[in-house]
Amino acid sequence: MLLDKCGNRYRNYILILLVSIFMLPIGALSQQQSADKTNQKISDSAKVIAILQSWESSWNSHDMHAFANLFYEDAIWILWTGDVWKGRTAIENGHANVHKTYFRNSIQKEELEELTFVGSDVAVVRFNSTLTGDERYPDKIIRSRKLLVITKRNNVWKVGWGQNTRFAEATPK
């Protein structure tokens, strides 16, 4: 063996050299994996934020089919009234009905408050909404906070669960 031929004098140097040679690729691999995870998190954050942007644009264009496509087929939506809509079809139909009537000219602005990844494929999003143009209350600004659980299934991010809570002072009387 190489170490036996070199004698004790060089044995420690050779061991250090061999260990270093084998450890360099491991360190480089670890750095690459860390960089890959960081890039993936940035990419996932951008995709989740894009959902919020699509949320606002589909609401303001009153395209409730596009709005509903932000949700999974088995999604849950809890209205500010406490009613629960189960499934994308119910979410689309419910929103389409109000956008044909008192929300037909509404404009909603979203402001991201928090985006937290609680796993590699689960994000919790909290944002404020400001709604104007509700025909029942034409001079009122309705403020609410929304909470979404957005998950990645088959490499696609969508809303799995959400809730709308109106601020008490913003609920028209």
Token duo for residue 37: 């995870």
- pLDDT given at position 29: 55
Q: Is 42 or 38 the better-scoring residue by pLDDT?
A: 42
If pLDDT is split at 50, 70 and 90, which confidence band does 41 have?
confident
- Largest Cα–Cα distance of the chain, in whole Å? 93
Whether residue 64 contacts residue 99, with contact meaning beta carbons closer than 8 Å, is answered with yes
Domain layout of the chain by residue ranges: 48-170
* Residue pLDDT, tens place only, 74-113: 999 999 999 999 999 999 999 999 999 999 999 999 999 9
Model confidence, pTM: 0.77
Asked whether the beta carbons of 127 and 113 are under 8 A apart, the reply is yes
Check residues 89 and 14 and name the one with the higher pLDDT.
89
pLDDT per position as a tens digit, 130-145 = 999 999 999 999 999 9
pLDDT of residue 42: 86
CB 76 within 8 A of CB 161: yes
- Which pLDDT band holds residue 22 (cuts at 50, 70, 90)? low
Q: Which fold has domain 48-170?
A: Nuclear Transport Factor 2; Chain: A, (3.10.450)
Average pLDDT, the chain: 86
